[in-house]
Amino acid sequence: MYYNRIFCAALVLFIMSVVSSGKAMTYQDTLAAADLNVNSNIKSAISDPTYPVYHLRAPSGWINDPCGLFYYNSSFHIFVQSNPWGNMWGNMAWSHIVSSPNKKWDYKWFYPRYQDGKVKTTAISPSLDSSAADKNGVFTGSVAVLPFKEKDKAGRTITTYYPAALYSAVWGTHESRQEVIAMARALDANKISQGKLVDPHLTEWTKYSTYSKNDPNNHPDVILRQPADLNLISFRDPYIFRMPDDKNYYMIVSAGIKNKNAAPSGVILLFKNDGQDLTKNWVRVNKGKNFFFSTETAVKDAITKGGNIECGVVYRLTDHIGTTNGSPYIIIFGQDGSPAKAYSKAMYYTLGNIVKSKNGIVFEPLDSFKEPDGKARKKLLDLNPEFVFYSSNLLPVDNEQRHFLVSWLNIGSQANDGKTYNWAGALSVPRFLFVYKENGIFKLGQDPILVNALRRKNVFSSQKVKFSGNNSVLPLRGVKGRHLNLVAEFKSANITADTFGFQLAVNGKKYFPVTISQGKLIINNRKPLDLQLPSHEKRVKLDMYLDGAILEIFISKYVNGNFISYRTYSCALPSTGNVLKEGINITGSENITAAVDVYEMDTCWSTEQEVSAETEQLNKAVCRNILPGMGKTYVVSKKSPAVK
């Protein structure tokens, strides 16, 4: 209620200022108003003692799905679905986070800013036109650098590449609700003026519209509608990709459909475009109910008995060193079931290959990912049964051969002081997904990636921690707070017969336990989760990231002489008292030894001065025409190219 009052007050003041100027409220006014509200709540958000410092999140307000992740202008760009007006879901727009130019491996980020230093986070917002396709929300999608036809000064048709966002647009309510795909582009991405990029951090996005060329942002064209013959439950979350030796551009869209027995199935539809005009002409590849991919899904609610999958992405995996040595593809998707049921609303994956035939193109699961009846077998991407780790998307690196996975963490403040802090949601640390073989079968590994560049100093190190008795508890001396990376390797003659782990957030007799017992993971004394460790395993490694309200755990087993991170668990880290005084204990029995290192983690956010200096270097690179990752550049003039 408090933040509703702040929102109303901020909006009223902004509208009054617009009205007093004698002008009608414009789309640009709504972006500015959203950013005004974000800035007004930053002080509240950062005062939270459990505010994350090295997980990406909004300055204030709510974020969820990562929507557009790509590399351009010497930076990684990440867009997220956001609500700039409060710390709860609603008023869906896209906000924007950028990595420091030329420092993509340092894991340093910033929010673009206005000239007065205020953050400029809101990039794409719902239209003001009541008949527009996205009037009720700008939802999940993806961004790719795509070719578009335009006229040069001489009237010749040329091709220019622009970052283009394809997103789920929502209009109507209740029974008339529709989901379609719309597009926005960063049309100033390649422009330079007076030796500088006009839009160096891609903050200006224009929706594609032939309906209203003078006011495109308030009435975008529908790029793709759901097939009318399928009677789908949903149609959302476009993801653009290419296939080797194929000139076409492909888009998958996640959906749901009811079977003859009324049970729901999650489906993914495949569309293609020859690239001549990516603003239209998207054609479905398969016919009827021959879907690119399908799987049985949980029922979302008891009334409609519907269900679907969402946030689908597909790409080819590599091995641990980044080579595609016979490696399969992976398809990742969210099961959009009831959050009240364990694993009903969670991220899943299937390994397989993309198979082309005269009947179309399908994702064919590997034999190890097929049920006895031949249907696709899905496996969990994260072990937490609660609705915490969701809405994964991909950040391409290495010329798109490797991809890093980023997901939404449905986590907010964990302070126990009775106060409300205006932020909610963060993004997981990036994960490098790879395949390895165990007993001749492809399996999935997940390594934390990039974020270890933020390790500041080692605050605890012991290569041989010994325990006495069966349930020994030892404090990690000198370790305080919760912005830490904790790495521990446990050894014994048979680790699957032992009990060991950590007590986190220790305040007196209160703590948050992370335990492995008899080969099962037990978080905070909840139901044990089978880690499926090899019998008579002798060692297990835990790599844990504590960041304010967030805890991410990577669990590794020893395979062919190397540790392979093969299980993860993401959750909130509750506060048991004063978070600045919290300690960490290690637990184990006398037949176990442990090697432990704890690192303080730096913030992932660059200062204004650092960003300004790096942007100046970026502009100099543009003038020398050596900037990587860009399309054609041209100088702004009175007769700039007109985009079709």
Cα 84 to Cα 87: distance, rounded to the nearest angstrom: 8
490 plus 397 within the same structural domain: no
- Comparing 569 with 194, the larger pLDDT belongs to 569
Q: What value does the mean pLDDT take over residues 299-308?
A: 78
401 plus 265 within the same structural domain: yes
Residue that is last in its domain, among 411, 431, 448: 448
Cα 148 to Cα 1: distance, rounded to the nearest angstrom: 46
Which one-letter DSSP state was computed for residue 587? E
Residue that is last in its domain, among 415, 448, 481: 448
User: Has residue 625 been placed in a domain?
Assistant: no
- The gap between the terminal CA atoms of the chain, to the nearest Å, is 46
108 plus 166 within the same structural domain: yes
417 plus 546 within the same structural domain: no
Residue that is last in its domain, among 601, 620, 639: 601
Q: What value does the mean pLDDT take over residues 317-342?
A: 92
CATH of the domain at 538: 2.60.120.560
pLDDT digits (tens, 9 = 90+) for 548-600: 999 999 999 998 888 999 999 999 999 988 888 899 999 999 999 999 999 99
Q: What value does the mean pLDDT take over residues 623-640?
A: 46
User: Has residue 41 been placed in a domain?
Assistant: yes
Predicted pLDDT at 217: 96
User: Has residue 541 been placed in a domain?
Assistant: yes
pLDDT band at residue 352 under the 50/70/90 scheme: very high
User: Has residue 520 been placed in a domain?
Assistant: yes
Q: Per the structure block, which two tokens stand in for 514? A: 């992370």
pLDDT band at residue 22 under the 50/70/90 scheme: low
429 plus 477 within the same structural domain: no
pLDDT band at residue 7 under the 50/70/90 scheme: very low
CATH of the domain at 28: 2.115.10.20
Contacts of range 40-48, beta carbons closer than 8 Å, 24 or more positions apart: 40/6, 40/10, 41/3, 41/6, 41/422, 41/423, 42/119, 44/421, 44/422, 45/421, 45/422, 45/423, 47/421, 48/413, 48/415, 48/421, 48/423, 48/548, 48/549
Predicted pLDDT at 322: 85
Q: What value does the mean pLDDT take over residues 189-208?
A: 90
Predicted pLDDT at 484: 97
Predicted pLDDT at 271: 98
Cα 446 to Cα 554: distance, rounded to the nearest angstrom: 8
User: Has residue 638 been placed in a domain?
Assistant: no
pLDDT band at residue 399 under the 50/70/90 scheme: low
Q: At residue 471, does pLDDT exceed 50?
A: yes
Cβ contact 125:34 at 8 Å: yes
Predicted pLDDT at 528: 97
339 plus 388 within the same structural domain: yes
**3-state secondary structure (DSSP) of residue 133:** coil
Predicted pLDDT at 172: 67
482 plus 413 within the same structural domain: no
Nearest to 501 by CA among 555, 452, 538, 548: 555
114 plus 89 within the same structural domain: yes
Q: What is the mean pLDDT of the chain?
A: 89
Predicted pLDDT at 256: 93
Q: At residue 262, does pLDDT exceed 90?
A: no
Predicted pLDDT at 153: 81
422 plus 472 within the same structural domain: no
What pTM value is reported for the model? 0.93
Cβ contact 145:160 at 8 Å: no
Q: For 212-232, give the DSSP string.
A: -SSSGGGS---SB---TTS--
Q: For 94-118, give the DSSP string.
A: EEEEEEPTT-GGGT-EE--B-TTS-
Predicted pLDDT at 4: 46
Q: At residue 173, does pLDDT exceed 90?
A: no
pLDDT digits (tens, 9 = 90+) for 92-102: 999 999 999 87
114 plus 193 within the same structural domain: yes
Cα 306 to Cα 335: distance, rounded to the nearest angstrom: 12
Cα 74 to Cα 100: distance, rounded to the nearest angstrom: 8
489 plus 569 within the same structural domain: yes
Predicted pLDDT at 636: 42
Phi/psi at 60 (5° precision): -160, 170
Q: What value does the mean pLDDT take over residues 527-532?
A: 96
User: Has residue 630 been placed in a domain?
Assistant: no
555 plus 432 within the same structural domain: no
The strand pairing partners of 506, in sequence order, are 583
pLDDT digits (tens, 9 = 90+) for 473-511: 999 999 999 999 999 999 999 999 999 999 999 998 999
Exposed, middle or buried by CB within 10 Å (0-12, 13-18, 19+), for 307?
buried
- Comparing 6 with 482, the larger pLDDT belongs to 482
Q: At residue 16, does pLDDT exceed 60?
A: no
User: Has residue 608 been placed in a domain?
Assistant: no
Number of domains in the chain: 2
Distances (CA, A) of 517 to 167, 213, 468, 480, 512: 44, 63, 17, 26, 16
CA 380-347-300 angle, 5° bins: 110
Which residues, in sequence order, are CB contacts of 325 under 8 Å at separation 6+? Answer: 319
Q: Per the structure block, which two tokens stand in for 478? A: 């000198």
The residue assigned the tokens 């409220």 is 25
User: Has residue 302 been placed in a domain?
Assistant: yes
Predicted pLDDT at 637: 37
Q: Per the structure block, which two tokens stand in for 27? A: 């789309």
Range of the domain at 463: 451-601
Q: What value does the mean pLDDT take over residues 602-622?
A: 85
Predicted pLDDT at 507: 92
